[in-house]
Structure 1
Amino acid sequence: MAQTPGQAAVQVFEVKVPAQPVATALNELSRQTGVQVFAAGDVVAGVGSQPVSGRLTVAQALETMLAGTALRATRTENGGYAVRRAADVPASSSSTLPTVTVLAEGEAETASGPLKGYVAKRNAVGTKTDTPIIETPQSISVVTSDFIEATGALRLKDALAYTPGINVSPWGADSRFDWTIIRGFDAQTPGYYLDGLQLRNNNGWAVWQTENYGTERIEVLRGPSSVLYGQTGPGGMINVVSKRPTEEPLRELQVQLGDNSRRQVAGDFSGPLDEQGKVLYRITGLVRDAKLDASGLPNDRTYIAPSLTWKPSSDTSLTLLSHYLRIRDGSSYGSFPEVGTLLPNPNGKFSPKTYVGEPGFDHFNQDQWMVGYMLDHRVNDTWTLRQNVRYGSIKVDYRQVYNASNFVTVNPDVPSDPANFRTLSRFPFGSKESARLFTIDNQAQAKFKLGDWQHTFLFGVDYQRSRNYQRTYNAGTVSNIDGYNPVYTNDVVPLDPWFDAKTSLEQTGFYLQDQIKWGNWVATLGGRYDTATARLNNYLDGSTTRITDHKFTSRAGLVYLHPSGWAPYISYSESFSPTVTIDPETSKPLKPETGRQYEAGVRYQPLDGKSKYSAAIFDLRRQNYITYNSTYQPKQTGEILVRGLELEAAFQPVKNMNVIAAYTYTPKAVVTASSTASEIGKQMQAVSRNQLSVWTDYRFDSGIKVGLGARFMGSNHGYQESAAAKVPSYTLIDALVGYDFQRWSLALNVRNLTNKTYISNCSSGSCRYGELRKVVATATYRF
């Protein structure tokens, strides 16, 4: 708060903290006010607090809470408070707390606002309420914008490379999408989330995308989450939080130069539009001109995201969010035969810089725009109403020449002739798609107390409607090509499409959730009922298919908040995803696929607020998934079991140094039931047993900053264990060198520092290389 010298400004909060251990009471006070309160565990151990209730300043609340104890609270330089024994309070501090200036709510951490550093303590993805992560009974990771910037993450998947449980390169180098695998399951389908609303895709190539420069943070909720979000996959969900208008003026210009002719200009501007600060604006945007590594085809992007916040009162806030994204890309997605990548080839290994498509044919063009709002109204001390709405449009024109996994035999008389292992047959692929998506989420939240139990009750109704048109072909003629010395012919002739249809989907969900706190315990209970209707209009045969599904899902979790900062938890959660597949025996749609997970874990969050640690074990099953028998008839007899351990840590071993570490151990990720007997006991996705990542950076007082990261992915047997040999493990190194001075920030980021050539996955005779080295220099000026 702004104030004149000698004049104190006071922020009053509605505080309700029952009598309980002091450590737990201080955590609750911080949660309700957004003001950090620090205390050593041995200082507050075994000490009880007095109840606090009413409209109070933080100072008044602390004085009441600590009355009758030997503890006193004093103001710290960062605007928080430190609780010490009375004998340890500096002589200059009065035992009676003076009137002080405390942090305004907008300056404290929220689940969606700006955050300094790498350690987030609050989230909304796990409960749809602004809740401390330590109180959420399910695995959650938050990637902050500071970490995205430090690691030089250019795409969403790059930003998640140091997050446990996620494979960010399941299908090799791919400039089209941010494809990821969470806990052994595809996270891209049915879609990522933006500001809590789903970006649903139709299992096609019109996949909604986000921009890292317009991202405030990325939230990852691992495990099923249908109770709050409806149709989702069993592995988890990824929610991107957009940058929003700020109360403090923000002006930033940025220039990037990099390899592959990368040139990018970006800007971020925000602040109040009126003297009272009731109307805030933000405009974030960029323009990029670049080339793809192997083909030299375009890798261009234009992005602009205007937003506006109106706060007519302290109880009401309306934020308008919008963006436009234009992508003109040549597509880096491709593969080579196993012989020459995973297995020896008499001609040597294929180079990952070899392009075997057709430059005059290949392109991936996407245009998308979205507009929506987030309305938040505090009715009284108990009730808060929220409504999130978004409408979007996307168009994709994608075509590419792929090579088959087999070689063209040019000398049948001598099978071992090296000439038989270099010429690749190819085929054209193309898809034109357009989609519209409307989503709305209405929420009513009530905070109240019954006896010693505090409740945060959430009731919601969400609805989404999507229309997707898709016309896709994957056949035609095109000349063969030499994989070691390619010559491009541009003689592509596509055949008629195999898919030409419009898909419509409507879903309505009703959900309830109660977060209950008593003493040191926090319980989360939830349930949801969904109705979904899908309609497929097939323009090839004129048929129409209509499918309606109903599903109830549930969730339960329990957390124990120990005064020392430890928080063990257990939880159960479910997911579901409808299918459009028809049962040939009944001529009726098959049941929705389902997921269910048991998880147990522990978090440790020291009171210094600069570090956090977590560990989780889980048993996750995908059930009712569709398999095909020997006569290719669909049967809903499939089940996939994934069990694993995830460890995550973020801490500062010394001043100015950050360490982020993650380890994933997945000893089991197998098909346990299938109508195809040969699938049982094998993996579906390519899941490595071990995965490890560590990032550390240090900032010198002179302004120089350095960082180094390592990402290890263990070996596996490829998709559906179809690789002819074990896919080797690999380790990638990332690095940062930078300098901050005055209003400037300079950084040189290198991902895959050693330019390591590695195979990310193999399937059905083909293998895909991962990303090669990327070098980007960034200059940012803030004024």
Structure 2
Amino acid sequence: MVIGLSGVAALVLAMPTQTSAAIDHAERAGTAVGARITRVAAMVAEADDILDFAIAGQPLDEALVAYGATSGVQLIYDSHATRRLRAAPITGRYDRVHALRLLLAGTGLVPQFTAKRSATLVGLVAEIEPAGIQDGAVVLDALEVTGDTALGPTHGYVAKRSATATKTGTSILETPQAVNVVGRKEIEDRQAQSVSQALLYTPGVLTQYGTDVRYDWLYVRGFVPGRYLDGLRLPFGARGYSQPRIESYGLERIELLKGPSSGLYGQNSPGGLLNLVSKRPSAVPVREIQLQTGSFGRAQAAFDLSGPVDPDGRILYRLTGLVRSTGTQVDHLEEDRVYIAPSVTFRPDADTSFTILSQYLHIDSPGGGAPQGLPTLGTLYTNPRGRIPTNRFIGEPNYDRFKLDQGFIGYAFEHRFSDVWTVRQNLRFAHVEADTQRVQAIGLGADGRTLSRYAWAFPERSNLFNVDNQAEARFTTGPLAHTLLLGADYLREDSRYDESQLRIVPSVDVFAPVYAGTVTRPPLGTRITQGRNQVGVYAQDEIRFGGFSLTLSGRQDWADAITRTLTASTGALARVKQDDAAFTGRVGLSYLFEGGLAPYVSYATSFQPTSGTN
């Protein structure tokens, strides 16, 4: 599968791994392969630039990503062959060919340059069997193996890079902050049907409410995390009911950054933030169709299609969709879901990428979207009348309902100006509209079976526009290698929340329920409208010296909000205006040992104004 390596494409092939002595022997013997490598390498070197390299001794996969980011060379290699190899450290000024040869010294691999910025890593044998040669070339068996990148699929269960922690795709091992990544393979192997289910084994995460088809209710280290999709903030609304439900089938990975993280993202809780990474167009065709069935009348169909549109692979597409209809373990609680996510990538040249990302999700859930809380007597505690069944529905089948419509459209743009500078812009407009009406419990009567109830409704809708501009520079100053990130972002969210008055409805027997049949929606009680703005500028420098890595980041934010609360019964209108500004940051130092251990120390800050409260 073709995967981007920090802007560098990697097509994975299988090849025999040999020793450097074998390579030297093959070249001295004047084989066709060795002669061609030497000839092309010499051609590339003649016109090559001299670049500054500062790559520590580390696993070869990690070193190749760092090399690709500095040189801009597209690498074709076998991740199986490189998995247990280590790269030699290189520091200094070299051309692309010489630097790659030094990096591969002792690994048994040699670069075969086909152009100035395109190379295949091959293994040569001292005695080439005739069956392995076709016209003097080594035959390589093709395998579909994925390399690990900041935005692409993880290799197995363990991700090596994250786009969330530093926004630069830095190795997780060198990131001085806790990062948990749940990749596509783990999501599929565990058959996780939601983001909440995918995070069940993640330390420090608490999920709530069980069967809830409306939202992913999460706490990270005791706080509600900020939620992002592809690095951009998701809507939340004035009361949190217009937050979107992100379909897990459309995700490539789920990344959880723990601890204060305002230094790059602005307003966030000290617990951390959750960044969801969408599936993106692939240069290698993807053809997947799923048909599923299960308990409670579950029926689901899904598809994932991707590949190049034109022969040159300059235009790539992806179309992911899902349709589901199912009941749940709670009587009368059902879900109908439709999800579609088209995306397209334009790559006019090797240095430019423009990806349009869009998706639409519709959920219709008779039963209110989530089970209501049952009385403690008869569940947690003994009730003389017996035990209340866990599938008991205490709402009103003809009234309880949840509907969600959400749509996103935006783009991710990246252009590499030189071996030093790369610019990126991520932009998205999001609309979320949720409508919930439910009948819920007030309390259990003295007889232990009569449950008093009330009806209410609480629709909310939200529009969010945000844009994040980044400029990244990779350079050296003496023995120090820098990854400098400069950025500025802006978001605007407008939301409206309408909460009805409460209306008492007939009680129900929790052991033998007879529903009222007809419940009308109560009139408006409270309306909250809110507009929020956030502007932030930030800078980050990742400095490497040998095995040391120092991360320095700082950000200045200006946030304002206007919240208007209308009380329908009196016509009273309350207005709260807020203006907040804060400087936040992070400083972290890590050291990468040869054995792959990287202890670190860090200090970070965050801020999160409470909108609507004076």
Q: Which TM class, normalised by the smaller chain length?
A: 0.7 to 0.9
Residue 28 of structure 1 pairs with residue 63 of structure 2: yes
Report the counterpart of residue 360 of structure 2 in structure 1: 324
2:333 and 2:371 in contact (8 A); partners too: no
1:505 and 1:534 in contact (8 A); partners too: yes
Report the counterpart of residue 72 of structure 2 in structure 1: none
Cα distance in 1, alignment partners of residues 188 and 104 from structure 2? 41
In structure 1, give the amino acid aligned to 2:370: S
Report the counterpart of residue 349 of structure 2 in structure 1: 313
Residue 244 of structure 1 pairs with residue 280 of structure 2: yes
Report the counterpart of residue 376 of structure 2 in structure 1: 338
Deviation at 1:339, TM superposition (A): 1.9
Cα distance in 2, alignment partners of residues 174 and 28 from structure 1? 44
**Partner of 2:459: helix, strand, or coil?**
strand
Report the counterpart of residue 25 of structure 2 in structure 1: none
Report the counterpart of residue 405 of structure 2 in structure 1: 367
Deviation at 1:348, TM superposition (A): 2.5
1:475 and 1:494 in contact (8 A); partners too: no
What does 1:372-391 correspond to in 2, within 5 Å? Answer: 372-391=410-429
Deviation at 1:495, TM superposition (A): 4.2
Deviation at 1:50, TM superposition (A): 5.2
- Structure 1 unmatched ranges of 5 or more: 83-88, 410-419, 583-588, 590-783
Per-residue CA deviations over 1:55-108 (Å, capped at 9, x if unaligned) read 435xx53533577xxx453379xx8789xxxxxx98549xxxx9999999x964
Report the counterpart of residue 601 of structure 2 in structure 1: 570
Cα distance in 1, alignment partners of residues 609 and 433 from structure 2? 24
Residue 398 of structure 1 pairs with residue 436 of structure 2: yes
**Among candidates 291, 295, 306, match of residue 327 of structure 2:** 291
**Partner of 2:605: helix, strand, or coil?**
strand
Report the counterpart of residue 575 of structure 2 in structure 1: 544
In structure 2, give the amino acid aligned to 1:421: G
Cα distance in 2, alignment partners of residues 26 and 261 from structure 1? 46
2:459 and 2:497 in contact (8 A); partners too: yes
Cα distance in 1, alignment partners of residues 203 and 412 from structure 2? 30
1:17 and 1:25 in contact (8 A); partners too: no
In structure 2, give the amino acid aligned to 1:290: T
Report the counterpart of residue 444 of structure 2 in structure 1: 407
What does 1:140-289 correspond to in 2, within 5 Å? Answer: 140-168=179-207, 170-187=208-225, 191-202=226-237, 203-289=239-325
Cα distance in 2, alignment partners of residues 501 and 186 from structure 1? 21
Residue 470 of structure 1 pairs with residue 497 of structure 2: yes
Q: TM-score, normalised by structure 2?
A: 0.82
Give the 3 Å change call, closer, same or farther, for CA 51–518 of structure 1 in structure 2. Answer: closer
Residue 457 of structure 1 pairs with residue 484 of structure 2: yes
Report the counterpart of residue 464 of structure 2 in structure 1: 437
**Among candidates 505, 512, 523, match of residue 485 of structure 1:** 512
**Among candidates 550, 557, 568, match of residue 523 of structure 1:** 550
Report the counterpart of residue 504 of structure 1 in structure 2: 531
Cα distance in 2, alignment partners of residues 239 and 571 from structure 1? 21
Cα distance in 2, alignment partners of residues 247 and 90 from structure 1? 31
Deviation at 1:180, TM superposition (A): 1.2
Deviation at 1:270, TM superposition (A): 0.8
Residue 123 of structure 1 pairs with residue 154 of structure 2: no
Alignment RMSD (CA, Å): 3.2
Deviation at 1:292, TM superposition (A): 2.9
Deviation at 1:491, TM superposition (A): 4.1
Deviation at 1:30, TM superposition (A): 4.3
**Partner of 1:147: helix, strand, or coil?**
helix
Give the 3 Å change call, closer, same or farther, for CA 393–19 of structure 1 in structure 2. Answer: closer
Which region of structure 1 is more displaced relative to structure 2, 263-272 or 361-370? 263-272
Deviation at 1:186, TM superposition (A): 2.1
Per-residue CA deviations over 1:567-626 (Å, capped at 9, x if unaligned) read 1111112221112355xxxxxx3xxxxxxxxxxxxxxxxxxxxxxxxxxxxxxxxxxxxx
Cα distance in 1, alignment partners of residues 529 and 286 from structure 2? 44
Deviation at 1:346, TM superposition (A): 1.0
1:453 and 1:516 in contact (8 A); partners too: yes
Paired residues, what number?
545
Give the 3 Å change call, closer, same or farther, for CA 181–19 of structure 1 in structure 2. Answer: closer
**Partner of 1:185: helix, strand, or coil?**
coil
2:269 and 2:606 in contact (8 A); partners too: yes
Give the 3 Å change call, closer, same or farther, for CA 185–26 of structure 1 in structure 2. Answer: closer
Q: TM-score, normalised by structure 1?
A: 0.65
Residue 74 of structure 1 pairs with residue 112 of structure 2: no
**Partner of 1:501: helix, strand, or coil?**
strand
Give the 3 Å change call, closer, same or farther, for CA 576–38 of structure 1 in structure 2. Answer: same
**Among candidates 412, 416, 421, match of residue 448 of structure 2:** 421
Deviation at 1:349, TM superposition (A): 2.4
1:38 and 1:81 in contact (8 A); partners too: no
Report the counterpart of residue 20 of structure 2 in structure 1: none
In structure 2, give the amino acid aligned to 1:557: G
Which region of structure 1 is more displaced relative to structure 2, 528-537 or 299-308? 528-537
Per-residue CA deviations over 1:261-309 (Å, capped at 9, x if unaligned) read 1111111111111111101111111111212332234301000001010
In structure 1, give the amino acid aligned to 2:468: D
Per-residue CA deviations over 1:108-158 (Å, capped at 9, x if unaligned) read 422111334212111111001111110111111111111111111111111
1:387 and 1:441 in contact (8 A); partners too: yes
Give the 3 Å change call, closer, same or farther, for CA 378–334 of structure 1 in structure 2. Answer: same
Cα distance in 2, alignment partners of residues 99 and 455 from structure 1? 39
Report the counterpart of residue 302 of structure 1 in structure 2: 338
**Partner of 1:448: helix, strand, or coil?**
strand
2:176 and 2:600 in contact (8 A); partners too: yes
**Partner of 1:337: helix, strand, or coil?**
coil
What does 1:100-111 correspond to in 2, within 5 Å? Answer: 108-111=147-150
Write 1 or 2 for the structure with the bigger share of helix: 2
Deviation at 1:226, TM superposition (A): 0.9
Cα distance in 2, alignment partners of residues 19 and 31 from structure 1? 7
Report the counterpart of residue 608 of structure 1 in structure 2: none
1:477 and 1:492 in contact (8 A); partners too: no
**Partner of 1:257: helix, strand, or coil?**
strand
**Partner of 1:260: helix, strand, or coil?**
helix
Residue 139 of structure 1 pairs with residue 178 of structure 2: yes
In structure 2, give the amino acid aligned to 1:489: A
Deviation at 1:367, TM superposition (A): 0.5
Cα distance in 1, alignment partners of residues 240 and 61 from structure 2? 50
In structure 2, give the amino acid aligned to 1:110: T
Deviation at 1:566, TM superposition (A): 0.8
- Calculate percent identity across the aligned residue pairs: 39
1:472 and 1:498 in contact (8 A); partners too: yes
**Among candidates 514, 530, 550, match of residue 541 of structure 2:** 514
Report the counterpart of residue 349 of structure 1 in structure 2: 387
Cα distance in 2, alignment partners of residues 388 and 348 from structure 1? 57
Give the 3 Å change call, closer, same or farther, for CA 255–102 of structure 1 in structure 2. Answer: closer
Give the 3 Å change call, closer, same or farther, for CA 426–80 of structure 1 in structure 2. Answer: farther
Cα distance in 1, alignment partners of residues 264 and 141 from structure 2? 35
**Partner of 1:421: helix, strand, or coil?**
coil
Deviation at 1:32, TM superposition (A): 2.6
In structure 1, give the amino acid aligned to 2:245: Q
Per-residue CA deviations over 1:170-197 (Å, capped at 9, x if unaligned) read 234322211111112223xxx4111011
Cα distance in 1, alignment partners of residues 332 and 157 from structure 2? 36
